[in-house]
Amino acid sequence: MSLLSILRKQNKKNLFTTPSHGQKFFIFNKLRNFYKYDISETDTHDPHTALLEAERRASIIYGVKYTHFLTNGSTSGIIASVLTCTNKGDKVLIWRNAHPSHLNAVKLAGCEPVFYDLPIIKEWGIPDKTTPDMLNLEGIKAVIITSPTYEGIVSDIKAIKAICKNAYVIVDEAHGALYPYSEKLPESAVKIADFTIQSLHKTAGGLNPTALLHVNCDLDASKALSMINTTSPSYPLLASIEANINYLNSKRGRKKLDELISNLQKLRTINFDFYGDDITKILIKKAGLTGYELSEKLFEEFNIEDEKTNEISTMLLCGLGTDYKKLESLKKALIKLS
């Protein structure tokens, strides 16, 4: 029985349990359906077993040993990975300007952070990829790699994994959750790294803050996750993760992704400067304009809001919700600006 089927069955009962809204009292009426399916583990027949089965099916889809559903974002996956593969006092190698969860994970594990720096691609004002020669692995127990970067720069995880003989490789692939579902996108780290963390909510159409932790080594991350997660999980969010993965893995989902990629490829044919390994990250710049000026023009003149901007370039984030109409409006704006 799937998580969603359990929630639908549970909605027919009269509950004298937590959560106290009882699935019928809606403080915020716009979230009526969310309330209806918001249950507690005590409310129905063993939803935890259904969750474990959903995670097992997901691990088969991704081709890994274990997949864990996360309802506290990729942050919880990063923390759980470090807690799982290190002991107090171990050294963990991290990028100096990485997401705060990397350093926080090291601190929570009682480990010693060791930092490495990434060069800046000066023509675009963004960090470059991580390469094996940047990593001094002497005495290192684990290394955390951000790939792709926020702007869609992808590292060679196979090459990095090859040199990490005595260190676990943790890949923050938060912005690469679509990679396993298309050969037209960069290769995912899920079958390469020891731990790979993906945010479904960033590009794959998931609800905030749904994410996945993939484990491809013999370590069990469930104990670490139980230490940092609530004992009252959100079953609507967990069910949405199951549905999200099933959709991505379906013919309908893959067709939707293929259409997105095709539309993005057409966008790149216009006379504008594009950059990056990941086509779903539209990194652009225009001669004569700073990134901030380009961002302002897109917003003020065309009602288009970007995801991230620097002095040189501007990045617009795309995902399953980026339809043809939205991309056409961007295309027309860029043509006018060019």
DSSP letter at 308 equals E
- The pLDDT of residue 31: 64
Please tell me the least confidently modeled range out of 122-126, 131-135, 315-319.
315-319
**% of the chain beyond a pLDDT of 70:** 89
pLDDT of residue 89: 98
Please report the pLDDT score of residue 265 as a whole number: 96
Closest-CA residue to 125 (of 315, 317, 333): 315
* Residue pointed to by tokens 């940047």: 134
pLDDT at 26: 47
Concatenated DSSP letters of 177-234: TTGGG-TTSPPPSTTTSSEEEEEHHHHSSPPTT-EEEEE-SS---HHHHHHHS-SS--
- Running DSSP on this structure, what letter comes out for residue 74? H
In tens, the pLDDT along 220-240 reads: 999 999 999 988 888 889 989
Quick one: how many helices (H) and strands (E) in the chain?
12, 13
* Residue 301 pLDDT exceeds 90: yes
For the chain, give the percent of residues with pLDDT over 90: 79
Examine the pLDDT at 14 and tell me if it is beyond 90.
no
pTM of the model: 0.90
Give pLDDT, residue 30.
63
CA-to-CA distance for 114 and 224, rounded, in angstroms? 22
Cα–chain center distance at 276? 18
What token pair was written down for 286? 């225009």
CA-closest candidate to residue 99, choices 202, 226, 191: 202
Confidence (pLDDT) at 19: 53
pLDDT of residue 47: 60
Query: Is the pLDDT confidence value at 306 over 80?
Result: yes
The rounded mean pLDDT for the chain is 90
pLDDT at 111: 98
d(CA 238, CA 72): 11
Residues 18-77: pLDDT tens digits?
454 545 544 456 667 776 777 766 444 456 788 899 999 999 999 999 999 999 999 999
Report whether 92 contacts 112 (CB < 8 A). yes
Among 84, 139, 140, 74, which residue's Cα sits nearest to residue 108?
Answer: 84
**Average pLDDT value for residue range 277-297:** 96
For the range 96-105, what are the long-range contacts, defined as Cβ-Cβ under 8 Å and sequence gap of 24 or more?
97/127, 98/144, 98/146, 98/172, 99/74, 99/75, 99/146, 99/172, 99/174, 101/74, 101/75, 102/78, 102/144, 102/146, 102/172, 104/75, 104/79, 105/78, 105/79, 105/81, 105/144
